[in-house]
């Protein structure tokens, strides 16, 4: 199941980026499960990685390689095996795949960034990956975004892509990205990976700062089940081939670029929640009138991750009591129930410590019949607002996660 | 579904306590849904209530009454309606039921403590309750523990009771308790309520301190879905009719009494998890070698509430990677994956950052086939250990919580 349209956008070629795919046979079912992304020389990259204390071997290697060679030439991504919980051998295995690719491309292993998603705790089948590399290289093409988006899928039911265009110093530049993930859930087959490319020329520090800003309220503001993968990664690659004046902190078009990048991140993040495991509904949990960002996010994530709230939405039940109770247990000091107001879309359902007197169950049920719903929670404590995207909790979530390895 | 035996223990009469039940018609289905507990004059009571910031009307009233009259004469409990999210009218309604009972018993309304569990946000049907009170009083008997345990049930599939005996200053005293709850989940029909009586004579401050100590690693160390009710309450009532020398902080048998009270609390808490909504397995999540209690509980609850861990247990899947990943996202600074060891019962499944080399999947599957499993997680950081009880996440959890109001 998934919420909304599954149209993959028309993805343009980006000067300096080619993508190739192949079947390594790590993922069950048909289709390619290995993708390589080639970057032109002098490209730069920014990255954010999982905050899980136990990051997977490819994350460790990718971080290390980025430090040594801030100008990567290749991304190497496999689906079907996460190479996580694999200890020192996992590191060796990730390095071995990088060496195999650098041997084929006459490059430096440290200019290769490895990414893995899939089963945790199984040794990475290095030979299957290296055997598939020549085919992946043969298929390299600037047009291969959708194929690559499909090759990195695991429990995803659809490929995910997004594009934006913007003008920097008079030059047209494009930002295009693909992502996989059907939950922030780990260590199953549902790690979030996002690979975003642009032909813009940008200073590395600016690129990193832009990416960090944009992930905050996009990739870091979605949740399917509150679990965070050991393998999550989001990479922003800039080839510089649009030949714009280098984008740096003082560039007049910085805001325009940030806006476009944010749009791509937001679309990909939303696509992940829409494809959340077992999802039948997309919920925007908007918290307003908070004292600060910390408490706003605390309330939003407590509501978004509440199994009772999520099952009520699955049932189409406008159960405002469950939302109110989740707000109450979010750990915010001195919250006053009488100040809380809650809306389902435009319908005010809670005010003055309980059901809004003007609210009727019929109104609530009409909103709940939709497959996209905004829940707005006003705390009456301040000026800050935030938003988290999530989905409902259905029988299919249990099925997907209970039956996966059995 | 529920895990393990459903035998209700043989509950003895306690001098100074009588229980009565009646049908008020607040809960659908047959059977009594109202219970009253009468305490002899000069009884004392200790109480702990929900930490949800939005507590229900009866919780507010019970707290207020306990402050005014530390020697309550009556507990009045209804199932089927939580009187939560009902604003000022909810307070008035709770007070009205107390007045109705005090009119019938020629007592003070402030000596009555009201408790409610059931649907949130619906007005309390005061008249139905007051109409059933005479029948509840007629049925008063010291033998009525099991009937009362049944009358306070909501999504519970079985009544819950526990008994312990201990000698205080040469006098035999008894502690007996009943509880309801099928999850720490709110605001559905699954609030946790526990009513524990004893014929011991005890100083009020000592009683309160004993109760608070005992709930810490019993009622406050269980979780079904991480949701905390607006109505949770645990009451300890002491009638003093065993005529023991008053139990106070310096009494030589204080430890013996605490031990017996702890046993009753632990049995009731475990019975709640065994009856967790949709539960097919009971899991003890034991965290050892933590630096302190805070981080031990943080890791234990993160694992216990992880939907991925819970669905793996439902599937009987020894998915150590999901446990390891949940430990990794528990928010503990500078955790070292190589130091973590994890056991399923006696089987070491994780060591040195990944799968224990001696572990075989067959061993893990044998443990997972049981309906009670201990997961031990050694952090290698210190000396503190803690334990949390939880259950798995099944299709039935979704069914119970998705279909409830529809």
pLDDT tens string A174-228: 999 999 987 544 333 356 899 999 999 999 999 999 999 999 888 888 877 766 6
pLDDT of residue A321: 87
Neighbours of B167 (CB within 10 A): 14
Task: Tell if the CB–CB gap between B88 and A326 is shorter than 8 Å.
Answer: no
The confidence score (pLDDT) of residue A242 equals 97
Topology agreement, domain B17-274 and domain B282-403: no
Task: Supply the pLDDT for residue A61.
Answer: 97
Q: Is A88's Cβ below 8 Å from some Cβ in B?
A: yes
Which is higher by pLDDT, B21 or B216?
A: B21
Q: Which of B82, B313, B352, B402 to mutate to test the interface with A (most CBs of A within 10 A)?
A: B402
Which residues of A fall within a CB distance of 8 Å from B360? Answer: none
Select the more confidently predicted residue: B170 or B232.
B170
| Whether the predicted pLDDT of B54 surpasses 90 | no
| pLDDT beyond 90 at B3 | no
User: Which of A 238-277 lie inside 8 A of B, CB atoms?
Assistant: none
Q: Largest alpha-carbon pair distance within chain B?
A: 72
Query: Which residue from B84, B327, B395 is facing A398, i.e. has the nearest CB?
Result: B395
Whether B278 has a pLDDT exceeding 90, the answer reads: no
Q: Looking at chain A from residue 119 to 148, which residues have their Cβ under 8 Å from any Cβ of chain B? A: 119-121
Output the average pLDDT for chain A.
91
pLDDT at site A184: 46
So what's the pLDDT on residue A187? 32
Contact B199, B190 (CB under 8 A): no
C-alpha span between A304 and A281 (Å, rounded): 12
Could you tell me what percentage of chain A is helix, strand and coil, using 3-state DSSP and rounding each to the nearest 5? 35, 25, 40
B-contacting residues in A 364-403 (Cβ below 8 Å)? 393-395, 397-399, 401-403
* Chain A with chain B: Cβ pairs closer than 8 A: 225
Say whether residue A187 is in contact with chain B using an 8 A CB cutoff.
yes
Least confident of A124-128, A226-230, A267-271, B277-281: A226-230
pLDDT for A183 equals 59
**CB–CB of B176/B264 below 8 Å?**
yes
The answer to whether B6 and B158 have CB atoms below 8 angstroms apart is: yes
User: What percent of chain A lies above the pLDDT cut of 70?
Assistant: 96
Do the Cβ atoms of A53 and B335 come within 8 Å?
yes
Interface contact A395-B397, CB threshold 8 A: no
Q: Could you tell me which chain A residue has the CA closest to the CA of B307? A: A225
Measured distance CA(A9)–CA(A276) in Å, rounded: 19
From B51, B184, B189, select the one nearest B120 (Cα to Cα).
Answer: B189
May I ask the CATH architecture of the domain B282-403? Roll (3.10)
Residue B51: enclosing H or E segment and its boundaries? none
Residue B67 to residue A205: CA distance in whole angstroms: 61
User: Rounded to two decimals, what is the model's pTM?
Assistant: 0.84
Q: How confident is the model at residue B183 (pLDDT cuts 50, 70, 90)?
A: low
Tokens of A354: 């309980």
Cis status, amide bond into B356, omega within 30 of 0:
no
Percent of chain B residues topping a pLDDT of 70: 95
Q: How many CB atoms lie within 10 A of CB A172?
A: 12
In tens, the pLDDT along A322-372 reads 899 899 889 898 888 889 999 999 999 999 888 999 999 899 999 999 999
Q: Give strand pairing partners of A194.
A: A179, A234
> Chain A residues with CB inside 8 Å of B185's CB?
307-308
Measured in whole angstroms, the distance separating CA B209 from the mean position of its chain's CA atoms is 18
| CB-CB under 8 Å, B228 with A329 | yes
Q: Can you tell me the distance from the alpha carbon of A122 to that of A4, in angstroms, rounded to the nearest whole number? A: 34
Taking the Cβ of residue B304 and every Cβ of chain A, the question of whether any pair is shorter than 8 Å is answered with no
* Catalytic entry in A86, A117, A155, A191: A191
- Whether B165 has its CB under 8 Å from any CB of chain A: the answer is no
pLDDT digits (tens, 9 = 90+) for A93-122: 999 999 999 999 999 999 999 999 988 888
Judge whether A312 is closer than 8 Å to chain B, CB to CB.
yes
Nearest residue of chain B to residue A318 (CA atoms): B405
Closest CA to B82 of B184, B158, B179, B187: B187
Distance from CA of A235 to the nearest CA of B (A): 21
The answer to whether B322 contacts A85, with C-beta atoms less than 8 Å apart, is no
Residue A1's pLDDT band (boundaries 50, 70, 90)? Answer: low
Highest mean pLDDT among A196-210, A277-291, A296-310: A196-210
Is B169 at the interface with chain A, CB within 8 A?
no
Reported residue count of chain A is 406
In the predicted structure, residue B210 carries a pLDDT above the cut 70: yes
DSSP per-residue string spanning B237-280:
EE--TT-PSPB-TT-TTHHHHHHHHHHHHHHHHHHHHHT-TT--
Which two tokens mark B369? Answer: 């086939």
| B337 DSSP 8-state letter | G
Question: Would you call B337 and A394 a contact, using CB atoms and an 8 Å cutoff?
Answer: no
Mean pLDDT of A288-312: 92
Per residue in A47-100, pLDDT (tens digit) is 999 878 788 999 999 999 999 998 999 999 999 999 998 989 999 999 999 999
Closest Cα partner for A92 from A55, A136, A58, A127?
A58
Q: Give the whole-angstrom CA distance, residue A328 versus residue A322.
A: 10
How would CATH label the architecture of A17-274?
Answer: 4-Layer Sandwich (3.60)
The band of B188, judged by pLDDT with boundaries at 50, 70 and 90, is very low
Q: Which residue in this structure is represented by tokens 């207020």? A: B64
- Copy the structure tokens of residue B66: 């306990």
Q: For residue A148, what pLDDT band results from cuts at 50, 70 and 90?
A: very high
* pLDDT average, residue stretch B119-145: 96
Instruction: Select from B55, B401, B405 the residue whose CB has the most chain A CBs within 10 Å, as the one to mutate to test that interface.
Output: B401
> Over 70: is that where the pLDDT of B406 sits?
no
Kindly list the residues from chain B whose CB atom is less than 8 angstroms away from the CB atom of residue A315. Answer: 401-406
- Do residues A197 and A176 make contact, with C-beta atoms less than 8 angstroms apart? yes
Angle at B273 (CA atoms; ends B269, B277), nearest 5 degrees: 140
Q: Percent of chain B, pLDDT > 90?
A: 70
- State the pLDDT at residue B203: 96
* Domains of chain B, residue spans: 17-274, 282-403
DSSP assignment of A364-395: HHHHHTSSEEEEEEE-SS-SEEEEEEEE---H
């Amino acid at each position: 199941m998934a919420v909304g349209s599954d149209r993959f956008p028309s993805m343009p070629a980006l000067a300096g980026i080619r993508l190739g795919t192949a079947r390594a046979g790590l993922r069950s079912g048909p289709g390619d499960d290995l993708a390589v992304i080639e970057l032109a020389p002098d490209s730069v990259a920014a990255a954010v990685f999982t905050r899980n204390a136990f990051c997977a071997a490819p994350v460790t290697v990718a971080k290390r390689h980025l430090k040594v060679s801030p100008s990567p030439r290749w991304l190497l991504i496999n689906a079907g095996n996460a190479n996580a919980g694999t200890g020192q051998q996992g590191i060796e295995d990730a390095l071995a795949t990088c060496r195999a690719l650098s041997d084929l491309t006459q490059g430096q292993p440290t200019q290769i960034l490895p990414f893995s998603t899939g089963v945790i705790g199984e040794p990475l089948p290095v030979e299957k990956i290296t055997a598939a590399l020549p085919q992946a290289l043969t298929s390299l093409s600037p047009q291969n975004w959708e194929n690559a988006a499909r090759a990195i899928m695991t429990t995803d039911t659809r490929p995910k892509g997004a594009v934006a265009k913007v003008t920097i110093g008079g030059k047209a530049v494009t930002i295009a990205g693909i992502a996989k993930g059907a939950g922030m859930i780990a260590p199953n087959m549902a790690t979030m990976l996002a690979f975003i490319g642009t032909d813009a020329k940008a200073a590395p520090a600016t690129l990193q700062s832009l990416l960090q800003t944009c992930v905050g309220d996009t990739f870091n503001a979605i949740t399917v089940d509150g679990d965070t993968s050991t393998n999550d990664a989001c990479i922003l690659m800039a080839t510089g081939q649009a030949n714009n004046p280098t984008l740096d902190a003082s560039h007049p078009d910085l805001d325009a670029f940030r806006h476009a990048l944010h749009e791509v991140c937001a679309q990909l993040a939303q696509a992940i929640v829409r494809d959340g495991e077992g999802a039948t509904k997309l919920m925007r949990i908007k918290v307003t009138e908070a004292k600060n960002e910390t408490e706003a996010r605390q309330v939003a994530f407590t509501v978004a991750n509440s199994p009772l709230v999520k099952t009520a939405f699955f049932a189409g039940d406008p159960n405002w009591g469950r939302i109110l109770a989740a707000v109450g247990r979010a750990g915010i000091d001195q919250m006053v129930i009488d100040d809380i107001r809650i809306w389902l879309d435009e319908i005010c359902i809670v005010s003055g410590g309980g059901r809004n007197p003007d609210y009727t169950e019929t109104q609530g049920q009409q909103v709940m019949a939709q497959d996209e719903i905004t829940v707005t929670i006003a705390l009456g404590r301040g000026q800050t607002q935030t938003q988290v995207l999530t989905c409902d909790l259905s029988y299919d979530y249990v099925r997907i996660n209970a039956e996966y390895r059995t």
